[in-house]
């Protein structure tokens, strides 16, 4: 679905990702992990076309960028914008509404169904600023359900939310994957990665490893990811090195 060929990305001529060669295949369920500053969000933005390669290229296979749906970090969304929960979720139909702009009853039925799936039934008329952090994250997922994208990108989708919300949303992601979606998610919690994600891409400004999760998240790979390019500035909360058993 996606091929990265010798991909170098950066800002103001300062590379953030160096010479990445890797592939995301159709049907993959991939965790993108690495220390803070490793280039994970930059890689996401390059897939969306928001960051142009300094070198190399991204090749799409069987999809276009219109088939990609992106869930940004919750902090990047303005919760003061005067929308209700129902209106926000319905905005996920924007691509379809380019051809027939009026919302129909079936559209709002679909909105209600999405809210039921994320545990927000009855919240339709609440405003965004009235939601808790966990409720707002559920809302972001409900909007993604409306888009039915072939490739779903999630940037730190579980930051600042409770364990129950994480479990509920991971169940939802697993169902979406079972229905054919390809999913790539930036995840900090490696226990969560090991539990749910069969494939992992470990990035630390350059590719450390990609493949089966248990193999990629080896002590040796995590140690290398925590030190390469960062000197002594090791972000242990992101790439902890487990004790050997």
On the question of pLDDT at 140 being above 80, the answer is: yes
In a domain, 31, yes or no: yes
Looking at 108, 130, 149, the residue that finishes a domain is 149
Position 233 in a domain: yes
Q: Would the pLDDT of 53 be above 50? A: yes
Is 135 contained in some domain? yes
Cα 20 from chain centre: 19
pLDDT tens-digit profile of 58-87? 999 999 998 999 988 776 777 788 889 999
Do 160 and 198 belong together in one domain?
Answer: yes
Structure-block tokens of residue 166: 């994480």
Q: What is the pLDDT of residue 237?
A: 42
Count of domains observed in the chain: 2
**The domain spanning residue 38 has which CATH number?**
3.40.50.300
Last residue of one domain, picked from the residues 149, 179, 200: 149
Which residue, among 13, 12, 15, has the nearest Cα to 38 in the 3D structure?
15
Q: Residues 170-191: pLDDT tens digits? A: 999 999 999 999 999 999 999 9
**164 is written with which tokens?**
């129950």
Instruction: Assess whether pLDDT exceeds 90 at residue 102.
Output: no
Give me the pLDDT at residue 45, please. 94
User: In this structure, are 161 and 207 located in the same domain?
Assistant: yes
Residue 18 lies in a domain: no
Same domain, 142 and 200: no
Q: Is the pLDDT of residue 240 over 90?
A: no
pLDDT value at 105 more than 70: no
Of 132, 149, 166, which residue is a domain's last?
Answer: 149
Clarify whether residues 116 and 189 are in a common domain: no
Kindly report the backbone phi and psi dihedral angles of residue 4, in degrees, each rounded to the nearest multiple of 5, phi listed first: -100, 120
Mean pLDDT, range 37-53, rounded to an integer = 94
Tell me, yes or no, whether 161 and 225 share the same domain: yes
Among the ranges given (3-17, 88-102, 159-173, 228-242), the one the predictor scored with the smallest mean pLDDT: 228-242
């Amino acid at each position: 679905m996606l091929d990265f060929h010798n991909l170098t990305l950066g800002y103001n001529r300062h590379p953030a990702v160096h010479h990445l060669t890797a592939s995301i295949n159709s049907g993959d369920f991939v965790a993108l992990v690495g220390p803070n500053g490793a280039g994970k969000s930059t890689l996401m933005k390059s897939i969306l076309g928001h960051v142009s390669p300094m070198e190399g290229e991204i090749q799409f296979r069987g999809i276009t960028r219109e088939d990609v749906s992106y869930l940004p970090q919750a902090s990047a969304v303005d919760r003061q914008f005067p929308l209700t929960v129902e209106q926000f979720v319905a905005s996920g139909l924007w691509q379809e509404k380019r051809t027939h702009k009026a919302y129909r009853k079936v559209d709002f039925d679909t909105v209600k169904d999405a809210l039921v799936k994320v545990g927000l039934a009855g919240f339709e008329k609440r405003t965004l600023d009235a939601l808790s952090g966990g409720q707002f994250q559920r809302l972001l997922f409900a909007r993604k359900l409306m888009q039915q994208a072939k490739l779903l990108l999630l940037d730190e989708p579980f930051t600042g939310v409770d364990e129950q919300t994480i479990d509920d949303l991971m169940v939802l992601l697993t169902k979406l994957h079972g229905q054919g979606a390809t999913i790539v998610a930036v995840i900090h919690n490696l226990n969560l990665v090991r539990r749910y994600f069969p494939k992992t891409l470990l990035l630390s400004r350059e590719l450390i490893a990609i493949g089966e999760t248990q193999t990629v998240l080896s002590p040796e790979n995590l140690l290398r990811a925590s030190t390469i390019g960062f000197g002594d500035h090791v972000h242990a909360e992101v790439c902890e090195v487990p004790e050997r058993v």
